[in-house]
């Protein structure tokens, strides 16, 4: 039996972090003690992955305490873009040509349309059901594609956004090299939102039920700053910045601490003032102990 090695740094100091994930008991989470990367073993085959994404949100229904439509998910996503508006406005500022890889429900497309209406936008979305939803929406002027391979050979962008995408990519090196060729120049940026390994429900509160909930067979990797720095250097990038954001706050965390599962947490939201909830999020952000991290890359 071969000894596992880290897919990013190549190190052989690998340990078993967890046996079984949310949607597959036979999948293990391995951890590199060198760069901190976590990765699934085994990963889905290409055929399994294709079938999974045919109807992505249908497969995600069991993760919600209530039934959500794609429109509901889009509305929730847009609220989070507005919540951290300064970060996202800084990303799209003066960006004439924008590519979004993995548009999902279209929350970021809505944000760009509302805040940078003159930008030319191309959307890539692999889920057939998501594409159908987006094409039926009010997205006049946006070009919709199924895959990166459909881009023209000369297509170049000022900003490439991939939010909630990179953890789904089995070959991160190949993806980063391909995307790099689509950046215009040294002023162009690639921005990616990915789950933060230091999620407070795992790293601070040690809730085993949430840990099992948060690792899924379509999230192949959980990255750290160090592992991303190594990947960037291997693929011709440098790190421009990291941004840390907290999507699920004190109200949600109290619910998980009490109920150990997804549940309506409005009772906790109503107890605390908006200032208290925001202060809690800001304290987590200062410590880089959040559920979401953004890495912004530029050409080296």
Q: Is residue 4 part of a domain?
A: no
Q: Is residue 34 part of a domain?
A: no
Number of structural domains, the chain?
A: 1
Residue 56's pLDDT is 65
Residue 57's pLDDT is 56
CATH, residue 119: 3.40.50.150
What are the residue ranges of helices labelled H in 84-125?
Answer: 85-92, 107-115
Instruction: For residue range 144-191, list pLDDT tens digits in order.
Output: 999 999 999 899 999 999 999 999 999 999 999 999 999 999 999 999
**pTM of the entire structure?**
0.93
Residue 59's pLDDT is 63
Q: Is residue 257 part of a domain?
A: no
Query: Taking all residues of the chain, what is their mean pLDDT, rounded to a whole number?
Result: 93
Q: CA torsion angle for 210, 211, 212, 217 (degrees, to 10)?
A: 120
* Whole-angstrom distance, CA of residue 282 vs CA of residue 241: 18
Q: Is residue 38 part of a domain?
A: no
Task: Quickly state the pLDDT bin for 58 (edges 50, 70, 90).
Answer: low
* Whole-angstrom distance, CA of residue 199 vs CA of residue 219: 15
Q: Is residue 217 part of a domain?
A: yes
Is the pLDDT at 115 greater than 70? The verdict is yes
* Whole-angstrom distance, CA of residue 37 vs CA of residue 275: 35
Q: Is residue 286 part of a domain?
A: no
Is the pLDDT at 61 greater than 70? The verdict is no
Residue 135's pLDDT is 82
Is the pLDDT at 63 greater than 80? The verdict is no
Task: Quickly state the pLDDT bin for 126 (edges 50, 70, 90).
Answer: confident
Most confident range (mean pLDDT) of 76-80, 135-139, 214-218, 291-295 is 291-295
Work out the average pLDDT over 243-259: 97
Percent residues over pLDDT 90 in the chain: 81
Give the range of the structural domain holding residue 237, as residue numbers without chain letter.
47-248+291-299
Q: Is residue 12 part of a domain?
A: no
Q: Is residue 33 part of a domain?
A: no
């Amino acid at each position: 039996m071969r000894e596992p090695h880290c897919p990013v740094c190549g190190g052989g100091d690998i340990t078993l972090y967890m046996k079984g994930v949310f949607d597959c008991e036979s999948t293990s989470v391995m951890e590199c003690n060198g760069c901190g990367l976590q990765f699934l073993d085994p990963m889905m085959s290409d055929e399994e992955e294709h079938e999974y994404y045919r109807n992505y949100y249908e497969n995600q229904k069991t993760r919600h305490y209530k039934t959500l439509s794609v429109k509901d998910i889009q509305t929730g996503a847009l609220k989070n873009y507005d919540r951290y508006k300064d970060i996202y406005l800084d990303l799209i500022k003066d960006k004439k040509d924008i590519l979004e890889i993995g548009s999902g429900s279209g929350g970021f497309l809505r944000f760009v349309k509302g805040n940078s209406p003159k930008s030319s936008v191309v959307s890539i979305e692999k889920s057939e059901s998501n594409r159908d939803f987006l094409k039926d929406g009010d997205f006049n002027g946006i070009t919709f594609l199924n895959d990166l391979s459909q881009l023209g050979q000369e297509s170049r962008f000022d900003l490439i956004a991939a939010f909630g995408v990179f953890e789904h990519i089995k070959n991160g090196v190949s993806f980063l090299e391909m995307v790099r060729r689509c950046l215009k120049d040294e002023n162009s940026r690639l921005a990616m939102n990915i789950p933060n390994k230091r999620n407070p429900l795992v790293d601070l509160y040690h809730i085993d039920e949430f840990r099992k909930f948060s690792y899924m067979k379509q999230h192949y990797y959980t990255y750290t700053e160090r592992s991303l720095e190594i990947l960037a250097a291997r693929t011709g990038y440098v790190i421009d910045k990291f941004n840390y954001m907290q999507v699920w706050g004190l109200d949600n965390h109290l619910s998980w601490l009490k109920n150990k599962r997804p549940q309506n947490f409005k009772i906790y939201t109503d107890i605390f003032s908006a200032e208290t909830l925001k202060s809690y999020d800001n304290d987590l952000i200062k410590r880089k102990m959040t559920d979401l991290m953004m890495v912004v890359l530029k050409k080296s």
